[in-house]
Structure 1
Amino acid sequence: MTESVKGPAGYFPSIEKKYGRSIAEWKNLIHTSPLTKHMELVGWLKAEHGLGHGHANALVAHTLAEMSR
């Protein structure tokens, strides 16, 4: 029996499928962006890269959480 992924990472398979980029690529974009605030990054991913709000939010939340460890 496999356990389902919980939290923001649960969106990752559908993000990769829908937008054609790996999660590593999205994280790299977030890391290299001059923006640092959560909602600024979400807005940027939506406006510049066409992501939906939930997908952008999941990527930003996961990436910023990793950065704060």
Structure 2
Amino acid sequence: MTPVLSSRRKNAIIQDLTPPSYVTPPSYDPRIKRYYQRKRARTNGVIAIKTVAHKLARACFYILRDQVRFDVTKAFA
């Protein structure tokens, strides 16, 4: 799908790229997977993926801002 950049979809490229990139982390780290499974048990799968994506995006922001390494225990306690 070629993203259409218009006034309504300013961040179309970001919207098209983020969902696949945030589906795979729960399978790589057991703490993220445990958080995802807990969230999915309480809500539906889409909300669980979006909360994991939001937590990872916030972690990326703090990594870039503070120039520190990623600590999964801070993001997914």
Q: TM-score range by the shorter chain?
A: 0.3 to 0.5
Q: Which is greater in Rg?
A: 2
| TM-score, normalised relative to structure 2 | 0.32
Higher relative contact order (CA 8 A, sep 6+): 1
